[in-house]
Structure 1
């Protein structure tokens, strides 16, 4: 028997609302519910699980080049790279707290026409980078060896609805 909103705990109602908002941005319905609970409300556009898998492949391909210039990791490194006019694809973690640490960067990316997308958690980015800790953000630059996959991901990200609509 389904409980009414009055009978449920407030945290359950908030979790249900957040789950619905997070799923609205992704086309896949089989997203881990626990990850959705911690996603920030400003984390739009959110990558679906298929796009997240492609992003993980891109990050691993960039790391396989053994050149630090194609994959930038972390708040300080990505911020300085964007300030130095480096272009690429920016992937943000959606579960960053406090969000004020990085909430200005999507606006900077929009001003500079840099494509960006959010993934569910920091752990997704950390595991793709091969580190045990999570990562707040990653900047990926295009390389010839994985250029086709890079172009596919950028095309999908550009087709996602903008956060202000």
Structure 2
């Protein structure tokens, strides 16, 4: 698959600018321990009701390993978005490995609350 082609199942896909914004927020969330990395951890945060939003990598192989997450997100009413690169997602999560999914988790009294809310709103606009 060519690098500029993205699996059509990876919807909604953030554009370049929005991806940068998301990854910057995720970096800050990683620093303040408000981030869970990996599809399994993301699933757990959804089931526990502590996920603020979910970010998934559109280049996960096979993409099907992630596709239970959008369904779960819709059940739990949690916004979700795809970014193009698992490598970039991994870097934003503060690890050197690729990360195919990550969950930003709720934290009362967090300084990032407004930024997280802005991302949630932007993701919801993508879904319309």
* TM-score, normalization by structure 1: 0.70
Gaps of 5+ in 1: 1-10, 16-33
What's the counterpart of residue 155 of structure 1? Answer: 121
Q: CA RMSD in A?
A: 1.7
Bigger Rg over Cα: 1
* CA distance in 1 between partners of 2:85 and 2:92 (Å): 12
CA gap 1:85/1:147 in 2 versus in 1, 3 angstroms? closer
User: As a proportion of its length, which structure holds more strand?
Assistant: 2
What's the counterpart of residue 20 of structure 2? Answer: 53
Structure ranking higher on relative contact order (CA contacts 8 Å, 6+ apart): 2
* CA distance in 2 between partners of 1:134 and 1:72 (Å): 14
What's the counterpart of residue 47 of structure 2? Answer: 83
Deviating beyond 4 angstroms after TM superposition, the runs of 4 or more aligned structure 1 residues are none
Secondary structure of the 2:51 match is coil
Report how many aligned residue pairs link the two structures. 126
Tell me how far 1:61 sits from its aligned partner: 1.0
